Amino acid sequence: MNNCCRNQLCCFFLVASIIAMGWLLSPHCLAQENSPPQIEQVLNQPAKIDFRNITLEDAFDRLSESIGVKFSLDPSAMAQLPFGSLTQLSAVQLQGMSWRDALKELLKPLALTFQTGSNQIFILGTEELLRQPRKLNLVELDALVRLQNSNLSDREENLIKQIREETRSNFALIEFGKPREKTDEDCSEDSLSKIPQPANKVLNIYCRELGKEEKVSDATWYLRAELEQGRAGNIEIIIFSARKLIDMKLNRQITIQFKQQPVQTILQDLARQAVLDISFEPGCIAMLDENTRDKCTLIMRDGSIKNALEVLSGTTGLAHEIDRDGNLYISAGDLLRQTAAAQQAAGTVTYSNPNPLICTITTKLPGTDIETMILIRENDLANHGLLDKYHQLHRDSIDDFMRYLKAYQPPTVSPDN
């Protein structure tokens, strides 16, 4: 492939990637966009915050008016807080620092963080907040924040003792269903270092070490504090497999009412309520008949997310599973495939794909090791005037590659090799 064609393809995929991210990625991924200079300039300016008894939602409405930048609150993160976006900020007074540092301090007591996007700032949940299998109560949120902001080192080998001392909280450790007062010194020693690290990070390391002993490859942790009369005695750090944690998320009780909605929209909302990423087998939604695909009704009161997924599977033929990365994966079930194949063979196909997939791009999100697959569909490019350019580049690249193959001479292999 010549350099000119290669450069054209690179430019095309760059533009297509930017477009696709805007349509297909969640707010977590959108937050990884490079922010324009004006947002960076605003974040570097001196800040002044004086809030008293205000909800999180109102606080960011005021901040948006003050600095002229839109704030977007991630619904998944808000669903983890005790009162959602209506969670109260009792009293916040910050000055003598940049807006960047002020936002960090404002969000720290709520286990939230932020990322800048192309034209807004996204308010997101920290990894530990989103990991929790249910909405946190106030005691659990306070305990999580203490773990995130208390540093541990190897000065004390007993992990749980040091956590209690640094956080000034009465934590208990439950390892795969068994209470443990004294941690294994060898395992603790591997988890701690001379350089102080936040307790939540040390717990991640400890889970990996403990998982090796228990032969559990995905060991993780979460917090639990059962309240009695508004107070909690012990706050438990529960260590067990990430898969069981996902099962707990799917067993969350929800009340939903979807009437005449696209089935894909319903599935995406269920994934959001379970705080799970979702992906679809290409073409599986298009196998559904028009009414099922675009006018689905699902009403449920005090049922689990798992129940809702099973109802959808029964009524649509779509299958669901948790893939090896812990994401909710939607595909066509056997019956749906058989029905689609029979209709196609009989010439009575009732489904179509008005927006076929024409290529995929796998890329790493900027500044992370996270890989994401971006799906490029025909109408997406057509709507932005890129479809003809794509076809031209595709033809040019194929022609160029065929010329290369015709002229290709395999290397001569020496008999001695």
Convert the pLDDT of each residue in 296-347 to its tens digit: 999 998 899 999 999 999 989 999 999 988 999 999 999 888 888 887 777 6
> What's the rounded Cα separation, in Å, for the pair 16 and 13?
5
Give the mean pLDDT of 278-282: 92
- Residue ranges, comma separated, of all CATH 3.55.50.30 domains in the chain are 31-127, 252-354
User: Dmax over Cα atoms in the chain, in whole Å?
Assistant: 84
Domain 31-127 = CATH 3.90.1150.10 = no
Beta bridge partners of 153: none
Question: Strand, coil or helix: what is 172?
Answer: strand
* Cβ neighbours of residue 369 closer than 8 Å, sequence gap 6 or more: none
- Kindly report, residue by residue over 103-136, the tens digit of the pLDDT: 999 999 999 999 998 889 999 999 999 999 999 9
Q: Given a cut of 80, is residue 417 above it in pLDDT?
A: no
The CB-side HSE value for 377 (13 A sphere, CA atoms) comes to 13
**What radius of gyration, in Å, describes the C-alpha atoms of the chain?**
26
DSSP single-letter state for residue 278: E
Residue closest to 378 by CA, chosen among 353, 411, 403: 353
pLDDT score for 248 = 95
The DSSP string of 304-320 is EHHHHHHHHHHHH-EEE
Given strand 328-332, what is the order of strands in its sheet?
Answer: 278-280, 328-332, 318-322
Give the fold, CATH level 3, of 252-354. Phage tail protein beta-alpha-beta fold (3.55.50)
Structure tokens at 334: 């056997």
Residue 178: CB atoms within 10 Å: 8
Give the mean pLDDT of 86-100: 89
Q: What percent of the chain has pLDDT over 90?
A: 46
Give the mean pLDDT of 134-144: 93
Contact of 112 with 125, CB cutoff 8 Å: yes
Which residue is associated with the tokens 């049922």?
A: 303
CA-angle at 90, arms to 55 and 111, nearest 5°: 75
Top mean pLDDT of 18-22, 85-89, 269-273, 334-338 is at: 269-273
Please measure the distance between the N-terminal and C-terminal CA atoms of the chain and give it in whole angstroms. Answer: 30
Beta bridge partners of 49: 94
| Residue 284 banded pLDDT, cuts 50, 70, 90 | very high
pLDDT score for 118 = 80
Query: For 31, phi and psi rounded to 5 degrees?
Result: -65, -10
Q: Given a cut of 70, is residue 194 above it in pLDDT?
A: yes
Instruction: Name the pairing type of β-strands 120-125 and 70-73.
Output: parallel
Structure tokens at 319: 């299958």
Residue 129: CB atoms within 10 Å: 22
pLDDT score for 397 = 76
CA distances from 401 to 6, 9, 131, 404, 411 (A): 11, 13, 47, 5, 18
Q: Which residue has the higher pLDDT, 349 or 232?
A: 232
pLDDT score for 18 = 39
Q: Counting beta carbons within 10 angstroms of the beta carbon of residue 156, is it exposed (0 to 12), middle (13 to 18) or buried (19 or more)? A: middle
Q: Across the chain, what does the average pLDDT equal?
A: 82
Question: Strand, coil or helix: what is 156?
Answer: coil
Structure tokens at 210: 């403990």
Is pTM beyond 0.75 here?
Answer: no
pLDDT score for 242 = 93
> What's the rounded Cα separation, in Å, for the pair 337 and 314?
14
pLDDT score for 115 = 92
